[in-house]
A and B are shown apart, each in its own frame.
Chain A
Amino acid sequence: MKRPEGIKRFVLAERLAHWLYALLFLIVLVSGLLMRIPLTRAWLGAARHGVSVRHGATGFAMIVVPLLLFALLDRGRLRGDIREVDRWSRDDRRWFWAALRGDSLRKREMPPQGRLNAGMKANSILVAAMAVGFAVTGGILLGKTGLPAWLVSRALWLHGFLAICATALFAGHLVHVFGTRHGRGYLQAMIKGGLPEEIARERHVLWWQSMKAEDPPTQRTEDEMP
């Protein structure tokens, strides 16, 4: 079997969960916009109710499907990812504030990072928090009959606000992936599993060092495991 390029970064469960989540996100984004924009809302007419129900079902799947994938394919990896996102070193905090100041964009030296840098960790926290926010507000909007009007109104507003935040995060994600050399490396890692070694060394030196120490001559992804 052909050897993947780079150092093993994402296992199959992570990659499948990522791409399924992305696909489902696009579906809820498009269906949400169709229902929100006055022109398309009028165009939908009677179909709006069906779109609304499917929008909710897809949102539910966005939470359940990735969790199911991890549960079936690699439960330990999910626990490991959560632990990694949760724990921030001093370097992570320094990296985060430096990134907010724009040091990374100015090509200044950044504090050393592990497999996930602080930006990726922050992104993961935001995505998880927004998933819960969407689920709660979406649940209120779907089961609104009998609920107080003020709660339904605020749930609608918050749902829309979260949608704007999620879309901005998604757009930033795409700019990062397609607009930078290392972003394309990350894309490769999310497709094939392996991150190009020079990017690992430049941007995730702590992780690169630990991986080299574990398996110096060759790095293999689970795809090539017998």
Chain B
Amino acid sequence: MNDTHYSETHIGRRAFIGLMIAGLAALFLGRGLFSGLLKEDPGSTGTTGFRINSVGGTPAFDESTWQLTFDGLFRKPATLSFAEFKALPQVERTRDFLCVEGWGVDSVEWTGVTLSEVMQRFDIDPSATHIIFHSSDSAKYTDSVTIEEAKRDDTVLAHALNGAPLIPDMGSPLRLVLPGTYGYKYVKWVERVEAVALDSGGYKGYWEKLGYPADATI
């Protein structure tokens, strides 16, 4: 090569370093820009900002026949209609939601019944270590929470989102809400709540059998 043509400027490395700095700035700065862009995600469900993910389709919900079962190590097993469930003491909790895929929704208001209320009302056995939630979808999706997680005052079986009843794709009529963990713990279409005593291996839900960690803490 003719060196006279290549002796002037190291533009390549400067441009590369400049792009690296721009990338890091995009990653660590400009939170407002990113949150604004994320809310306009085209795959989201209108104003709620959620993307719809399911592995077994959306099951039908008929309020006149729907039932919720509490069994396993609940010493007062019960089966409730939707009206009976809604008659339990209701709470509202506003928390951020984050999917394991990386997208999130800020300040989601959930309405429902706390798990601590359920555990007290249906008298959970002290030997229980986990509570498993069974979905009515065709994949028989399940996941679990530890008793410690269940006792938190923001772990909720929710039937409403931002003041409106859950839509079918979002888990109608009931969805588990476990703030501080990734969305795969938020079991949709809950129809059965089972208290169990497990060894240290714990319980592997649908995604956990496929490699996700059982502790989905963010």
Residue ranges of A at the interface with B (Cβ–Cβ < 8 Å): 35-38, 41-42, 45-46, 49-50, 53, 82, 84-93, 114-115, 121-122, 124-126, 128-129, 132-133, 136-137, 141, 144-146, 148-159, 161, 206-207, 210
Contacts and interface: CB of A to CB of B under 8 A. Distances in A.
Contacts of B198: none
A136 B11 CA distance: 23
A41 B166 CA distance: 22
A191 B15 CA distance: 29
Given A125-B15, A149-B218, A46 B101 contact: no
Nearest to A41: B53
B6 A126 contact: no
A204 B61 CA distance: 69
B82 interface: no
Interface of B: 1-2, 4-13, 15-16, 19-20, 23, 26-28, 31, 34-35, 37-38, 43, 51-56, 96, 98, 100-104, 139, 182, 206-207, 210-213, 215-218
A45 B52 CA distance: 12
A124 B34 CA distance: 28
25 contacts: A37-B43, A46-B206, A49-B211, A49-B212, A82-B12, A84-B1, A87-B9, A88-B8, A88-B11, A89-B4, A114-B5, A125-B15, A129-B15, A145-B216, A146-B217, A149-B96, A150-B31, A152-B218, A154-B31, A156-B101, A156-B103, A157-B37, A158-B23, A206-B2, A210-B1
A209 to B, nearest CB: 8
Contacts of B12: 82, 85-88, 121, 124-125
Contact of B34 (A87, A146, A154): A154
Given A42-B53, A45-B55, A153-B102, A129 B20 contact: yes
Given A46-B139, A122-B15, A155 B8 contact: no
Contacts of B211: 49, 53
B95 to A, nearest CB: 11
Contacts of B16: 125, 128-129
Nearest to B212: A49
A204 B105 CA distance: 52
A42 B8 CA distance: 54
Q: Which of B5, B23, B35 has the most CB of A within 10 A?
A: B5
A82 B31 CA distance: 35
Contact of B38 (A36, A137, A141, A153): A153
A85 B15 CA distance: 11
A155 B53 contact: no
A93 B139 contact: no
A156 B5 CA distance: 41
A165 B40 CA distance: 19
